[in-house]
Amino acid sequence: MAAVGDGPWLDDAAGRLVRPFTVSNGRTRPTIALDLISQVRATGVTPLGYLGPEHAQALALSRAPVSVAEVSAHLKLPAAVTKVLLSDLVDCGVLTTKPPEFHHNPTDRALLEAVLDGLRRQL
């Protein structure tokens, strides 16, 4: 029995009925560089041609800026597959992407030591 709103792609007992690699037509590499924290947003352009159900869901999720990781979680797809889907949407002009912004040095020694100290306290 399919879950409400999921259509034929998910089954309550079996889970996903379509294997993730079929969603991306077997492709494993996106055409653009995307991080998990990269932001994507719909451009408002109407896509030409047919979009698969996962493409349409990703586009709907991207009406407001959203990270690649969030789209992946909502679609219940591996990040690698989600990146391929999102790159397809960018290539056809219906999505725009923005690289993650860092307001600090990600290799700042003080920051890394603070994280390490916090992790040690958790153990």
- H or E element in which residue 10 lies: strand 10-11
Instruction: Please state the domain extents for the chain.
Output: 22-101
Averaged pLDDT of the chain: 80
* DSSP string for 72-111: HHHHT--HHHHHHHHHHHHHTTSEEEE----SS-TT-HHH
The pLDDT tens digits for 4-38 are 444 555 545 545 455 555 565 656 677 888 989 99
- Helix 68-75 vs helix 79-91: crossing angle, to nearest 10: 110
Residue 54 has pLDDT above 90, yes or no: no
Residue 22 pLDDT: 56
- Tell me the mean pLDDT in the region 89-115: 82
CATH of region 22-101: 1.10.10
